[in-house]
Amino acid sequence: MHDILAPRALKTLQRRLLAWFCAHKRDLPWRASRDPYRIWVAEVMLQQTRITAVLPYYYRFLKQFPTVESLARAPQDKVLQLWSGLGYYSRARNLHRAAKEIVARHNGEFPRTIEAARALPGIGRYTAAAVLSIAYDEPLAVLDGNVARVLARLGAVRGDLRAPARWRQLGDLAQDLLAASAPGDWNQALMELGETICTPQIPRCAACPVSRACLARARNLTREIPAPRRKRAPVKMRIAAAILRDPRGRTILVRDPGAHDDVLFSRMWQFPAVEVARHAEAELAEHLHDILKIDAASLRLESLPSARHGVTFRNITLLPFLARVARLPKRPRTRVLPLSNLDRLPVSSATRKIAAATRI
């Protein structure tokens, strides 16, 4: 597309989009500052997560960790606790590790070059370009799903946008179109356009500031671009979980006990749980014996209402079981706490759903 956009037309496109962004941008907390730390935290939280879901977490996180130094000093459990419910917990772990590196190796300042930024844990091309362009005015274009869709429609680029060659082509296009005088605003303007006007299903072309330059609109291709992505076939899973409860209303949580912790429980504190095939109760009792040395014969597992849980392509049925015990077992890598107060520890939303079954 940039081949057919004369320099003057490119300038007009940039001017119109930047003016639209200036007039219509949403008032978001990370836009109130050029502090790279605050922009970085926002960009990480916004990966695969909607703005409305991010906002309360963002406020809480920044209140607790207002600087990169305060984040670097924090224990990992505290960081995970504040992330708890936001999902994709490797983001929080990497953010924490990167904060430590920034303090240790960069004197507490977010790196100014893309190479140094990308060398930090969890920071890829997109996040590095977003932070450096917005905080430091570096002329680096971003490319995410929203930007790719806008660019593909502007240039009538057909096919699977995530195919490596096409993604590279869109990356080049993004860099060619970048308004070098205001790279941070330009990047945010494209993202904003993709989120609010040039939306996936039915773009609002009548309200679009760059519609005159849009080839997809001119050729009546807005419904066909981007091409739908092939989705991975869903996988069904059943996970049985044991809520052990002692007479004082306390329960026991475990950590890293099995193969499903990473996917479902994000390597955080969780109820003892196992994927089951046919006989959930018996398989769970066996698992409890394996990890907590609980005698299966002495255990009565009471079935609680099941819950649905989706993680990417997995459709999971959670099968909670309550076991009333006189005494909770004492084992390494376990925590005992009141069942009504699980938020004292970092837990995933799957663990919360399991706990909620006891309140029905």
Please state, in angstroms and rounded to a whole number, the distance separating the CA atoms of residues 295 and 132.
57
Judged by CB under 6 A, which stretch of 112-120, 178-186, 197-205, 253-261 contacts ligand SF4? 197-205
> For residues 107 and 201, which CB has a smaller minimum distance to ligand SF4 in the complex?
201
Q: Which of 287, 239, 245 is nearest to 260 (CA)?
A: 239
Site membership for ligand SF4, residue 214 (CB under 6 A)? yes
> For residues 13 and 316, which CB has a smaller minimum distance to ligand SF4 in the complex?
13
Contact assessment for residue 249 and residue 339, using Cβ atoms and an 8 Å cutoff: yes
Site membership for ligand SF4, residue 147 (CB under 6 A)? no
Instruction: Write phi, then psi, for 297 (nearest 5 degrees).
Output: -65, -30
Of these, 41, 44, 208, 253, which contacts ligand SF4 (CB under 6 A)? 208
Cα 206 to Cα 16, 217, 243, 251, 291: the distances in Å are 14, 10, 55, 57, 61
- 69 belongs to the catalytic site: no
Strands 302-303 and 273-275: unpaired
Q: Which of 315, 133, 136 is nearest to 238 (CA)?
A: 315
> For residues 171 and 203, which CB has a smaller minimum distance to ligand SF4 in the complex?
203
Site membership for ligand SF4, residue 5 (CB under 6 A)? no
Site membership for ligand SF4, residue 81 (CB under 6 A)? no
Rounded to a whole number of angstroms, the minimum distance from the CB of residue 269 to ligand SF4 is: 45
Site membership for ligand SF4, residue 216 (CB under 6 A)? yes
Q: Residue 196 burial by CB count (10 A; 0-12/13-18/19+): exposed, middle or buried? A: middle
Of these, 153, 245, 260, 309, which contacts ligand SF4 (CB under 6 A)? 153
Contact assessment for residue 210 and residue 154, using Cβ atoms and an 8 Å cutoff: yes
Active site residues: 43
Residues that bind ligand SF4 (CB under 6 A): 150, 153-154, 197-198, 203, 205, 208, 210-211, 214, 216-217, 222
